[in-house]
Amino acid sequence: MAEQAKTSVPTIFPCLRYEHAPEAIEWLDKAFGFEKQFVVPGADDTIAHAQLRLGSGMIMIGSGGKPDPRNPWATERFGTYVVVRDIEAHYARAKAAGAKIERPLADTDYGSREYSARDCGGHLWSFGTYDPYAES
């Protein structure tokens, strides 16, 4: 993509939801060696957001939630997050190509500007300016 600069830092992150995310974090460490980089606890022993590292890679995980028509990530078990520099142009491109926009481009309370869409196979993607490596 022309607007993406070449970088040695990953910009694509698998995102997973677990019914029992706190236990999943411990299990992923014990079984696979994922280390906690950043964890945001949620209510009632849930995880609002966590970033786990393995080598130079990272995954994002959280607890599954109640359905929310404004946020498909509340119940989606798997998706992908991509850091995009020119989010306005990227959003316009996705809309022009007919991507099914699930969450319109907007600013978040954690300082990102992002949107979510489904691809031609129904898979959930989010694109935004939040860079998990900035938390390192």
**pLDDT over threshold 80, residue 20:** yes
The pLDDT value given to residue 76: 82
The pLDDT value given to residue 67: 82
DSSP calls for 57-118: EEEEEEE-----TT-GGGT-SEEEEEE-S-HHHHHHHHHHTT-EEEEEEEE-TTS-EEEEEE
In a domain, 6, yes or no: no
Number of domains in the chain: 1
Calculate the CA dihedral of residues 2, 135, 107, 22 and round it to 10 degrees.
Answer: 120
In a domain, 31, yes or no: yes
The pLDDT value given to residue 33: 93
CATH code of the domain in which 77 resides = 3.10.180.10
Segment 44-94, tens digit of pLDDT: 999 999 999 999 899 999 998 888 888 888 778 899 999 999 999 999 999
When pLDDT is cut at 50, 70 and 90, the band that residue 136 belongs to is: low
Residue range(s) defining the domain that contains residue 32: 12-135
